């Protein structure tokens, strides 16, 4: 339930959120990457196990402290066929480009099954309890050397 105290807590957590403030610094020579693109010379076949392993690899990369924000969470949020959004949906969702002109505004997105996509999401902590749990888990992983 949202009361004044809960709202103040949420607002303070949102204000503390800075996606550039990472849990650790990148190693020498590492550079920021916003997208990974891979084009195959011929169509390939991916089993569910291939998809799972690719998801796990991306999850390992995203969980690295240099890819985690101090005051929030960053995670692999989805995977599957590439969606094509209408122009209005693309603008609303903050997707790059102008949307797919073949998708009418207000229509459901279409999906390109020939493109496998993994996406990540990042947000501020939403509750003090969540912040405490995540920071404790990070400290535990750091103590194990993960």
Question: Domain boundaries in the chain?
Answer: 4-144
Distance, in Å, from the CA atom of 78 to the CA atom of 132, rounded to the nearest integer, reads 25
Q: What is the mean pLDDT of residues 84-89?
A: 81
Q: Is the pLDDT of residue 27 over 90?
A: yes
CA-closest candidate to residue 58, choices 75, 45, 44, 72: 75
Lowest mean pLDDT among 29-43, 44-58, 100-114: 100-114
Query: What is the value of pTM for the model shown?
Result: 0.79
CA-closest candidate to residue 83, choices 72, 93, 70: 93
Confidence of residue 12 (pLDDT cuts 50, 70, 90): very high
Mean of the per-residue pLDDT values of the chain: 89
Confidence of residue 86 (pLDDT cuts 50, 70, 90): confident
- Strand (E) or helix (H) holding 89: helix 87-93
CA-closest candidate to residue 71, choices 4, 145, 123, 129: 123
39-69 pLDDT, tens per residue? 999 999 999 999 999 999 999 999 999 999 9
Distance, in Å, from the CA atom of 57 to the CA atom of 66, rounded to the nearest integer, reads 16
CA-closest candidate to residue 84, choices 75, 73, 95: 95
Could you give the angle at the alpha carbon of 37 between the alpha carbons of 18 and 55, nearest 5°? Answer: 70
Tokens for 76? 């692999």
């Amino acid at each position: 339930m949202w009361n004044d105290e809960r709202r103040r807590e949420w607002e303070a957590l949102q204000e503390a959120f800075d996606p550039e403030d990472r849990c650790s610094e990148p190693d020498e020579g590492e550079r920021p990457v916003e997208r990974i693109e891979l084009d195959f010379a011929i169509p390939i076949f991916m089993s569910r196990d291939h998809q799972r392993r690719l998801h796990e690899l991306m999850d390992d990369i995203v969980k690295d402290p240099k890819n985690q924000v101090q005051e929030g969470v960053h995670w692999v949020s989805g995977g599957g066929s590439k969606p094509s959004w209408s122009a209005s949906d693309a603008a609303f969702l903050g997707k790059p480009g102008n949307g797919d002109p073949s998708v009418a505004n207000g229509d459901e997105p279409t999906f390109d099954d020939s493109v496998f996509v993994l996406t990540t999401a990042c947000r501020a902590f939403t509750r003090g309890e969540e912040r405490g749990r995540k920071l404790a888990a990070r400290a535990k992983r750091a103590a194990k050397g993960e």
